[in-house]
């Protein structure tokens, strides 16, 4: 009997947890900046009240802030995608290793009764499909949940009656749709 050393999951788990935390923090930054840009645009519009009452210096300052926010959004989205890919591909790598370890421990009668290419293809295709779903889930879940929470927080800074109307009508509109 050959003794196989047990795989150490602690370092892998720590790396995944670190990547997951970084992706979540980047999602927070991404959403905060995305929600802050419309506020800046509104302030810039308020600076152009009427003829002869345009505050060009403030508008230029706000446009610079918008440009910086856009750069932060782009950088955070790129980093977030990098972390999502890293997490997904580490999980897929581990799934494939464990699947091939399982295949190598199967009885020869099972391997002889099934096509070798089909077994390998199934492992690879299923792992890829799982990876695609995981990657899409990470991208949509993090930014979606954080966007909803961030929008509610920003909405509370405007008159509460408008926030109440939106919070009440949104589920109603989803039900009607």
> What's the pLDDT score for residue 7?
57
The band of 91, judged by pLDDT with boundaries at 50, 70 and 90, is: confident
Which has more pLDDT, 160 or 68?
68
* Among the listed residues 88, 66, 78, 90, the one whose alpha carbon sits nearest the alpha carbon of residue 27: 78
- Global pTM? 0.72
| pLDDT beyond 70 at 1 | no
What is the mean predicted confidence (pLDDT) over 74-84?
A: 91
* Among the listed residues 94, 43, 96, the one whose alpha carbon sits nearest the alpha carbon of residue 66: 43
What integer best gives the mean pLDDT of the chain? Answer: 83
> What's the pLDDT score for residue 78?
94
Cα distance between residue 56 and residue 40, in whole Å? 14
88 neighbors 137 (Cβ within 8 angstroms):
no
């Amino acid at each position: 009997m050959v003794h196989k050393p047990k795989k150490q999951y602690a370092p892998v788990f720590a790396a995944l947890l670190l990547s997951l935390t970084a992706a979540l923090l980047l999602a927070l930054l991404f959403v905060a900046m995305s929600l802050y840009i419309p506020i800046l645009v509104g302030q810039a519009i308020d600076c152009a009240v009427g003829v002869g009452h345009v505050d060009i210096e403030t508008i230029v300052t706000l446009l610079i802030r918008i440009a910086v926010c856009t750069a932060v959004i782009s950088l955070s989205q790129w980093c977030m995608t990098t972390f999502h890919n890293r997490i997904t591909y580490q999980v897929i790598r581990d799934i494939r290793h464990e699947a091939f370890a399982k295949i190598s421990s199967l009885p020869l009668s099972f391997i002889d009764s099934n096509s070798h290419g089909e077994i390998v293809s199934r492992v690879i295709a299923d792992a890829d499909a799982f990876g695609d779903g995981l990657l899409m889930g990470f991208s949509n879940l993090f930014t979606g949940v954080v966007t909803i929470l961030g929008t509610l927080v920003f909405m509370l800074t405007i008159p509460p009656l408008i926030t109440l109307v939106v919070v009440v009508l949104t589920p109603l509109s989803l039900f009607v749709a």
